[in-house]
């Protein structure tokens, strides 16, 4: 395969790398806010590598959102892509757009065990689907389906925008506050960077406290340092992630296992393991036993989305 470019573009960061002979080369992370659009970001990346666009044969971009429309508009940033204009400006002959969590799902199929941290012990069932889910700027969800030939197909979707499930009186109270603010309360309304900050602020309001923290990163740092309101918010975040992941597992029959991915969770792996995630994941009433023994792993690899974009490009060429 000739030289290609792969990208994994979310709401906050755009990750790029070269793809050659089934391997990633020269990965780099750029902030989307610095650029007017993906073309400008790619040109900046190529200049940094001493390359011209004409050196590339193909580009595969994994993008946050449903990629069927043209132009494609990103869900959580202002960028958009018109396929014809993109190819013309960069002088390319092929552009493959895929959902970012399709790329994430394909990427985890190639990860070694050393880049998977156990969250719930168990043994996945051979030949059954797997769930891939993870919070970052938004909440990504995908499924891996066995292809019948020893490989996998990744299922695109927008499962991050399902309704937020409620399981306790505290969750009902938090939901009511968020509904007054947002109208529709999706899973992503909580399970994202903006969602963690929202959860912290709403929790403080319910408890009669003045919120002091101004970002999701600050909330997670304070939680790990023992700040009680921040720790309560992060604990509730993990519990809601468990509920949402368990719901998707029931829908998909994903008894092959669950992969937790995205940019947020690797910042607090120990907290996640000790949290109520596992309890809420399996809290499904008469179907609770269905989730017994289903393994859950935290993906700790640095660039699984870029790896998946390269694999998708090779699959598309075949």
Annotated binding site: 7-12
Angle made by CA atoms 260, 265, 266, in degrees to the nearest 5 = 105
Measured from the Cβ of residue 11, the count of other Cβ atoms closer than 10 Å reads 22
> CB–CB of 182/139 below 8 Å?
no
For residue 115, give Cα distances in angstroms to 131, 182, 227, 266, 289: 17, 37, 30, 11, 28
Distance (Å, whole) CA 242 – CA 221: 21
> If you ran DSSP here, which 8-state letter would residue 165 be given?
P
Q: CB-side exposure of 84: number of CA atoms within 13 Å?
A: 3
Assigned token pair, 87 = 């190819």
For residue 112, give the 3-state DSSP assignment: coil
The number of residues making up the chain comes to 318
Residue owning tokens 């309890």: 279
> CB–CB of 314/58 below 8 Å?
no
Phi then psi for 56, rounded to 5 degrees?
Answer: -95, 150
Torsion of CA 32, 34, 35, 40, to 10 degrees: -100
Q: Which residues are annotated as a binding site for ATP?
A: 7-12
> CB–CB of 160/136 below 8 Å?
no
> CB–CB of 109/144 below 8 Å?
yes
């Amino acid at each position: 395969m000739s030289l290609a470019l792969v990208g994994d573009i979310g709401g906050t960061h755009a990750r790029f790398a070269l793809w050659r002979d089934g391997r990633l080369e020269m990965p780099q992370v750029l902030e989307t806010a610095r650029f007017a659009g993906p073309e400008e970001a790619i040109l900046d990346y190529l200049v940094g590598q001493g390359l011209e666009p004409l050196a590339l044969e193909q580009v595969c971009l994994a993008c946050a959102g449903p990629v069927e429309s043209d132009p494609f508009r990103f869900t959580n940033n202002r960028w958009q892509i018109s396929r014809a204009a993109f190819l013309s400006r960069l002088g390319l002959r092929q552009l493959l757009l895929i959902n970012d969590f399709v790329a994430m799902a394909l990427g985890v199929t190639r990860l070694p065990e050393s880049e998977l941290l156990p969250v719930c012990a168990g043994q996945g069932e051979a030949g059954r689907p797997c769930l891939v889910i993870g919070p970052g700027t938004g909440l990504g969800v995908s499924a891996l389906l066995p292809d019948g030939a020893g490989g996998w197909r990744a299922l695109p979707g927008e499962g991050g925008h399902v309704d937020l499930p409620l399981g306790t009186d505290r969750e009902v109270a938090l939901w009511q506050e968020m509904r007054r603010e947002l109208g529709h309360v999706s899973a992503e309304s909580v399970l994202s960077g903006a969602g963690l900050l929202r959860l912290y602020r709403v929790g403080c309001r319910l408890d009669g406290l003045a919120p002091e923290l101004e970002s999701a990163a600050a909330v997670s740092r304070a939680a790990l340092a023992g700040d009680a309101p921040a720790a309560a918010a992060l604990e509730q975040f993990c519990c809601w992630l468990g509920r949402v992941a368990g719901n998707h597992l029931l829908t998909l029959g994903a008894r092959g296992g669950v992969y937790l991915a995205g940019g947020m969770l690797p910042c607090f792996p120990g907290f996640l393991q000790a949290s109520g995630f596992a309890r809420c994941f399996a809290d499904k009433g008469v179907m609770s036993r269905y989730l017994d023994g289903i393994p859950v792993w935290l993906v700790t690899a640095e660039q699984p989305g870029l790896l998946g974009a390269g694999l998708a490009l090779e699959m598309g060429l075949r």
